[in-house]
Structure 1
Amino acid sequence: MSAFGPNPWIQRHWDWRAAANFVFGGAGSGLILAAALALPLGPARAVSLPLGLALVALGLTCVWLEIGRPWRALHVFFNARTSWMTREAFAGIALFGVTVAAFFRPGDWMEIALGFFALLFAWCQAMILRASKGIPAWREPKVIPFILATSLGEGAALAVVLAVAYNMPSPLAYGLLAVALLARAAAWMVYVASVAPKLRGTPQAALVAVTPVLLWIGTFGALALAALAAALPRHFAMLLALGAAAAAILAGWHAKRTIVTRASLNQGFSLPNLPTRGAR
């Protein structure tokens, strides 16, 4: 496939560093959302908030490193009316502020704000892909529910690990993990069914190859391990919870990296009316 021209080509502007923003930022915002929804006040929740912020910051740092002239990153704040990247940046700032406030002053309204801005950050990430009109794997509307579901699923997996680590039983965290992973699997199947026919060659094969990993390892395998973790004593549950989280999170990261870097086939362009030199 050519690097540029009327024929489709795989974009090379967004590499693993751009994918890392979706990988770490999605998991971090998902953890903060899961903490607001399912973790009671206590050490597990106290650790979840700074950990979530650290993941979001790591994702934003990776995409900042992708820029050849890093200070140009400040330009991202100048286009809130048209750019989802700008909106993501502002949502990230708000998420940092609310999370710090919720860490020191938890409360009902603070939990609502915490969940809202975590969800808003994940939504902005999904819309960044949706707004890329030239790439079929990104512009597909069905990518939005998948990005949201995998963010929550990854966050819920981390929340379960923290709940087990601090011996704070949280049936809500297990329930949230099950719902999020099943929703993610359904969203992925719908997304692939819509996008795969629009691709060809290596990008199509890469996207389709994610399905068994996401379903059998990231969904059913993770849920089986989580169910065992919920049923067995704590010294067994910790290893099982870590295994469930690893399966759920790595499968989601694999899917997002594939969407951003391997299935990102640019559709090319057409010139139906070619100019003729010397024509009047």
Structure 2
Amino acid sequence: MAGIETSADSQTDARGGRSSLAGNATDKALNLLEAASAPGYPHRLGDVAAAAGVPKASAHRILQNLVVTGFLASDGNGGYGPGPRIRALAARITQGCEEDQVMRAELEVLGRRIGHTVHMGVRTGDVVTLLVKVAGPNPVQDSSRVGMQLPLHTTAIGKCVLAGLDDGQLASLVGRVGLPPRTENSVTDPAELRAELAKVHERGFALDDEENEIGVRCLAVPVHDAKGVVIGAVNVSTIAFLETREALLSRVDLVRTTADALHGLLG
């Protein structure tokens, strides 16, 4: 996949905009592979290119190469989705993966203790991706699913990640993706977000109070890699009318115990 980028592509990137952040040829190919494999496929060329931040002409050439090599599949009508090689790779990674087994086992214990849905999510680019979900016993559930990608600034998991960034990294990210609202409760002001992230950093957990989905309130505690960098978080998801904010906050120590158990697990 290397060597696909042309001088014309480089000139296009140099003009600025989101495409200038796409990186080298390998970065572009990986970003396009991720965008085309996102839930809801098949995805149109323009949508994949925009999501990956790659110029459309360059995206088309790279996508065609990914189809030829079997990493992506084309539906014949201009849509793209995961191909047989990426599906096989995903199966090889997840089947019998010790890390996945540990994460699920820890989350299942947490879920039994608190009686609510729990997740493990990580930062992937400029979004959160849910890796594991253990559904709670309540008949009313949130809309989450494994593989779902969510904004960083409206989710408790995402706020844990953002609180681990320095000022420059945070400003760069906000400049790229903005702070679009998901609900009327979403934080959309950069100064307000910085103030909230300072609290997250200080107290060691984050709260999503119906900011990403109306009726859903979440609490998350960060998970670190072996170097101490926040890569994601363990999240508890509750239905707002079934559990109060105060009751959810009382669970933080249990969530922290689980997050600590996953320290260094993913690198």
TM-score (norm 2): 0.28
Give the structure with the larger strand fraction.
2
Question: Which has the greater radius of gyration?
Answer: 1
Highest RCO, 1 vs 2 (Cα 8 Å, sep ≥ 6):
1
TM-score (norm 1): 0.27
Give the structure with the larger helix fraction.
1
